[in-house]
Amino acid sequence: MISDYNRLSGLQKVAILFSVLGESLALNLVNDLDKTEIRKIRAAMRGVNNVAFSVKKQVMEEFYFSFVSEKFVQEEDDEPKKPFEFLKELTNEQLIALVASEDSRVVAITLAQLEGDKRSAVLARLDEAQKREVLVSIGNLDDVPLEAVVQIANKLNKKSKQLPKTVNFSRGGGKDLADLLGEMPPEDEAIFMENLEQEDPELAEQVKKYRITFESIFEIFPDNLLRDLMNAVDLDAVSLALKGMDQSITDKVLGVLPKKKQAMFEPVEGAVPKRDVDDARKKVVTAAKQMEKDGAFKLEDLLGGDTVE
């Protein structure tokens, strides 16, 4: 066991510092080392595995005071009074992204600054192995020098400024899934929704809030919207889209069309490729979605039973 502090070389002291703090955290303090010096320190760490606690304490104190006196002395006005204050401005997702690639000791120091809800949100996203390391580290932060903590805060603060705002990236969920389903063939879309309703009913309900299908148009669109929609689609496409639909649906569409278009309407007779019918129906659905984007209606209102006059 190494028990005589005075017989330690400078390299051994640095190796002990790295062993106590962990390499990632120590490099935040000693950030001017080149790769060769870091390799020497790593090699020296293998020879300082068994060190008396009193020696570790002396090493930590020496480095702390040397850092304060030589490297980290700043004007009082330049030193942030609350170095982790910036964390309060971050959402849970941004906090998770901030510490995702950090050493467990750095994660522990960060979590120690957070309130309960935010702390729990970050911990919940860690895998079990890292979570155990972080929790153990949180209970052993007393030996981390103050200046190391300040350096970590400064580093994370800089890193946080590069995080995307919540509104700058897709949120996923029901709306995005509904949009993706709208690009699928109708049969595949229907099968997917059937499976989703069984596997995740809650998500299925969210999808329905943003999902317009050819069949649902005739259930939720009031006559004035249905008229505008059918007028926005080529009459031949409307006729083809109605192929195979119940006669009551065809009658409903004819009832909202202008007299001139009613006279021009010709139902599609005989066999036609299913793909052609699907493409025609997709044109109608696409036109309906465009109307929604243009503000003609809100799908949530229609699904909630409200009507648009």
Q: What is the pLDDT of residues 127-149, one digit of tens each?
A: 888 888 888 777 777 667 777 78
Instruction: Choose from 18-32, 51-65, 214-228 the range with maximum mean pLDDT.
Output: 214-228
From 76, 72, 64, select the one nearest 142 (Cα to Cα): 64
Cβ atoms < 10 Å from Cβ of 269: 7
∠ Cα 179 232 247 (to 5°): 90
Give 253-274 pLDDT, tens digit per residue.
999 999 999 999 999 999 999 9
Is 304's pLDDT higher than 70?
Answer: no
Confidence of residue 165 (pLDDT cuts 50, 70, 90): low
* Angstrom distance (rounded) from CA 145 to CA 101: 22
Confidence of residue 79 (pLDDT cuts 50, 70, 90): very low
Instruction: Choose from 37-46, 280-289, 291-300 the range with maximum mean pLDDT.
Output: 280-289
Match 């906090």 to its residue by tokens.
Answer: 95
pLDDT (0 to 100) of residue 209: 78
Q: What is the mean pLDDT of residues 5-21?
A: 82
CB 63 within 8 A of CB 145: yes
What structural domains and CATH numbers belong to the chain?
A: 5-73 (no CATH), 85-168 (1.10.220.30), 212-303 (1.10.220.30)
E strand map for the chain: none
Q: Is the dihedral of CA 7, 12, 14, 17 positive or negative?
A: negative
SS3 call for 125: coil
∠ Cα 120 160 147 (to 5°): 85
Is 85's pLDDT higher than 70?
Answer: yes
Give 180-229 pLDDT, tens digit per residue.
777 777 777 778 888 888 878 888 888 877 788 888 899 899 999 999 99
Q: What is the mean pLDDT of the chain?
A: 80
Is 34's pLDDT higher than 70?
Answer: yes
pTM of the model: 0.42
Range 221-228 contact pairs with CB under 8 angstroms and sequence separation of 24 or more? 221/288, 221/302, 222/307, 222/308, 222/309, 223/255, 223/256, 224/308, 224/309, 225/291, 225/296, 225/297, 225/308, 226/252, 226/253, 226/256, 227/256, 227/257, 228/291, 228/296
Q: What is the mean pLDDT of residues 99-124?
A: 83
SS3 call for 2: strand
Q: Distances in Å between the alpha carbon of 133 and those of 22, 64, 117, 123, 281?
A: 12, 25, 20, 11, 56
* Angstrom distance (rounded) from CA 26 to CA 273: 69
